[in-house]
């Protein structure tokens, strides 16, 4: 099993519903977020291109954060989801420093926190909160090993990219282009 997410940059309107849905679902403290929206403007006027990306932890298959964690608090869960065990985390910050996507933050309670692909919802067969809340339905979630899962289907039919694959982390967050 390999959980992954695809985000359609053509459908995303940058409303940030995914951000608020995540903050609400996961009790993210005020002033922090586990996902965020990036707007990229490329080109010179008048030939401009706009790309909107809902970004979060890439749940890399070769995670530098799991590698550098001195206590094993950062680890792979079922389906390759990268999760932090709160009471094992010492808050040293190594994983925050090791992440090329800057996807982790230091929770005010001391431990390091990040996107979990809403593991607690996924285990019940629900979609992650951000995917469920998206008003344009631009996000797809599922198991890459299952050829009929929404994410497998959309990746078969569309062009996509990942963010900085040259960092060697094997990211599992795909952006449809």
Partner 1 sequence: MREEIIVSGRMNPNIDPYLNIWHWQIPLYLFLGGLAAGILFFAALFYLRGKENEYRAAVKIAPMIVPVLLILGLFALFLDLKHKAHFWQLYTVIRLQSPMSWGAWTLMIITPLSFIWAALHIKEVFPKWEWKYQWLKDLETFFQKYKKLIAWLMAIYSVILGVYTGILFSAFNARPLWNTSILGPLFLVSGLSTGAATAILFSKNHEERKTFARIDLLLIAIELFLIVHMFMGFLASTQVQIDAANLFLGGPYTAPFWMLVVAMGLILPAILEALELIKFKIPVYIPAILVLFGGIMMRFILAYAGQMSRWLY
Binding site for partner 1 (CB under 8 A): 14, 16, 19, 31-33, 35-44, 52, 64, 67-73, 87-94, 96-100, 102, 105-106, 109-112, 163-164, 166-168
Q: Which residue, 89, 27, 23, 30, is CA-closest to 56? A: 23
| For partner 1, the closer CB: 87 or 157 | 87
CB of 124 to partner 1, least distance (A): 27
Taken in order 105, 107, 113, 117, is the CA torsion positive or negative?
Answer: negative
CB of 130 to partner 1, least distance (A): 11
CB of 13 to partner 1, least distance (A): 10
CB of 74 to partner 1, least distance (A): 10
The total number of residues shown for the chain amounts to 177
Answer yes or no: are the C-beta atoms of 54 and 12 closer than 8 Å: yes
| For partner 1, the closer CB: 43 or 135 | 43
Q: Which residue, 65, 77, 53, 73, is CA-closest to 5? A: 53
| For partner 1, the closer CB: 118 or 143 | 118
* Unique residue bearing structure tokens 């039919």: 157
| For partner 1, the closer CB: 51 or 77 | 51
* Unique residue bearing structure tokens 């995670």: 63
């Amino acid at each position: 099993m390999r959980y992954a997410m695809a985000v359609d940059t053509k459908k995303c309107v940058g409303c940030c519903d995914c951000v608020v849905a995540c903050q609400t679902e996961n009790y993210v403290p005020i002033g922090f977020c586990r996902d965020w929206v990036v707007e990229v403007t490329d080109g010179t006027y008048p030939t401009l291109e706009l790309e909107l990306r809902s970004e979060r932890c890439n749940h890399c298959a070769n995670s530098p954060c799991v590698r550098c964690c001195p206590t094993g608090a950062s680890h792979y869960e079922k389906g390759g989801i990268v999760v932090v065990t709160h009471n094992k985390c010492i808050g040293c910050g190594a994983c925050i420093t090791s992440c090329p996507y800057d996807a982790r933050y230091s929770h005010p309670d001391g431990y390091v926190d990040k996107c979990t692909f809403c593991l607690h919802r996924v285990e019940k067969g629900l979609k992650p909160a951000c995917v469920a809340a998206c008003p344009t339905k631009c996000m797809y979630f599922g198991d890459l090993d299952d050829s009929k899962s929404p994410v497998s289907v959309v990746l078969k039919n569309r062009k996509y990219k990942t963010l900085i694959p040259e960092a060697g982390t094997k990211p599992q967050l795909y952006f449809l282009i």
